[in-house]
Homo-oligomer: A and B are copies of this chain.
Amino acid sequence: MSVSRRGFIAGSATAASASVLAACAGEKDQAAPPGVPSNSEPDHEPLQEAIVAFDGPHQAGVETPTQADLNLIGFNLKGGVDKAGLARLMRLWTEDARELAAGRTPLGSLEPEMNRWPANLTFTVGFGERVFDIAAPGEKPAWLHDIPAMTRDELREEWGQTDIALQICADDPVMCAWAMRHMTRAGGDYAQIAWVQQGFMNAYGAIPKGQTPRNLFGQVDGTVNPYEADEYAEQVWNEDGSTSLVIRRIAMHLDEWEMLDRASREEAVGRTLADGAPLSGGDEFTEPDFGATDQYGLPVIDRNSHMARSRPDANHPEQRFKRRPYNYNLPPAPGSAELSDAGLIFIAFQKDPDVQFTPVLQRLDEADRLNEWITHIGSSVYWVPPGTSADGKGDKFWGESVLG
């Protein structure tokens, strides 16, 4: 099915006809490389045929390019669910998620019509501390604890730690909703919903392929992400295929932000709004020059800009991780003068939050200029079990290495 653009143009009309699908198709289940992509190439595979592999050494939904729709569910275990119960839940969830992601109908599902076009549906499960307390206290990773309190935190219990997190993403909101209903119903004997965080990013094909999506501040968000396999191996994947998931719910005070002019917005971030290039010049992926000064000898990039504070410490190159943020934009609370209840569901994957994530958060908490317009209102941390296989190579179900 793979056909190079050159081969396509040189080929016969019949071959060209047969490869319309190929011409419309692109890479899948792989992070897009950095660069400035073309804006008119029809380089997306038709959405009806877009399927992300469920099984593999790692869970999907981590390296997978951000889909349009997110249903992120925090579950707490029901009373009396022990290690054996946890294993049963994970076994049935794995089997059902595998079917749904492939566009097949899970055992016992009465809605085959709703499951037909998965639209890049992915599931990613994470275990909170309590799963280890119940099932394998001795195996709990040292970093699996609350993110330390930050001075500016205004955390709300309603968005706090849960026993399990299940990230469901798809490029079709109907599929995403349907998959959530199926999984919550299927797991209903074992786990109940504590919270649901619903978010969105750009629709499949809505922005040029490979372009970094923007948050509701208008900023490109995710520039410094890993892109290549060796970067993922360094930053994200443990040897057994596991990783960690940190979820921060960050309210964004858009009404105030939108009163700023563009220059003030760019100063707060340290990047241009137009293309995300550092204010010291170049393009989105150019290294910033923090030594650059303007005509008055003042630094071009504010040392407390979001970009400057969020970069790895010069002596700590390990402070990198995969950002996979989603926007939320809910109706304003009744009686509120705000135009919307908006913000970011900041989702981060890394080997060790204590080493890679929290130091960055502390630097931001201390002096990020963006702090004036954001408030962290939720926080939770999970261990993300290795990927699965249907043929007995490795874990057959989520968390088998801990629960099996």
A residues contacting B by CB (< 8 A) are: 8-17, 20-21, 23-24, 39-40, 42, 44, 46-49, 68-69, 110-111, 113-114, 117, 119, 158, 171-175, 177-178, 180-181, 184-185, 188, 193, 195-196, 198, 200-208, 213-214, 216, 218, 254, 258, 261-262, 265, 273-274, 327, 329-332, 334, 339-340, 342
A117 and B206 in contact (CB under 8 A), knowing A16-B16, A24-B42?
yes
Are B205 and A205 in contact (CB-based, < 8 A)? yes
Closest chain B CB from A329 CB (angstroms): 4
Are B214 and A174 in contact (CB-based, < 8 A)? yes
Nearest CB to that of A49 among chain B residues? B40
Are B205 and A46 in contact (CB-based, < 8 A)? yes
CB-CB < 8 A to A207: which residues of B?
Answer: 48, 117, 172
Closest chain B CB from A168 CB (angstroms): 12
CB-CB < 8 A to A258: which residues of B?
Answer: 110, 181, 185
CB-CB < 8 A to A10: which residues of B?
Answer: 13
Candidate in A44, A195, A216, A339 with the most chain B CB atoms within 10 angstroms = A339
Candidate in A68, A178, A206 with the most chain B CB atoms within 10 angstroms = A206
CB-CB < 8 A to A8: which residues of B?
Answer: 17
State A401–B397 Cα separation when bound (angstroms): 64
CB-CB < 8 A to A39: which residues of B?
Answer: 48
A188 and B218 in contact (CB under 8 A), knowing A262-B110, A334-B158?
no
State A53–B28 Cα separation when bound (angstroms): 32
Identify A113's interface contact among B188, B218, B342, CB under 8 A. B218
State A172–B10 Cα separation when bound (angstroms): 35
Identify A203's interface contact among B158, B185, B203, B261, CB under 8 A. B203
Are B205 and A204 in contact (CB-based, < 8 A)? yes
CB-CB < 8 A to A206: which residues of B?
Answer: 47-48, 117, 119, 171-172, 174-175
Are A114 and B48 in contact (CB-based, < 8 A)? no
State A193–B13 Cα separation when bound (angstroms): 55
Identify A20's interface contact among B23, B158, B180, B193, CB under 8 A. B23
Identify A111's interface contact among B20, B181, B218, CB under 8 A. B218
Candidate in A14, A177, A180, A185 with the most chain B CB atoms within 10 angstroms = A177
State A205–B47 Cα separation when bound (angstroms): 6
State A9–B18 Cα separation when bound (angstroms): 9
Are B68 and A203 in contact (CB-based, < 8 A)? yes
State A329–B332 Cα separation when bound (angstroms): 18
State A42–B23 Cα separation when bound (angstroms): 10
State A11–B15 Cα separation when bound (angstroms): 11
Closest chain B CB from A2 CB (angstroms): 16
- Given contacts A113-B274, A117-B207, A172-B202, could you give 13 more A-B pairs where the C-beta distance is less than 8 Å? A9-B17, A40-B46, A42-B46, A113-B273, A114-B218, A173-B200, A174-B200, A180-B340, A181-B216, A181-B342, A193-B331, A198-B331, A205-B205
CB-CB < 8 A to A180: which residues of B?
Answer: 329, 340
What are 21 inter-chain pairs, A to B, with CB distance below 8 A?
A: A9-B17, A11-B13, A12-B13, A13-B15, A44-B46, A68-B173, A110-B261, A111-B218, A117-B207, A172-B203, A172-B207, A173-B173, A174-B213, A177-B200, A177-B340, A181-B329, A181-B342, A188-B339, A196-B330, A196-B331, A198-B330
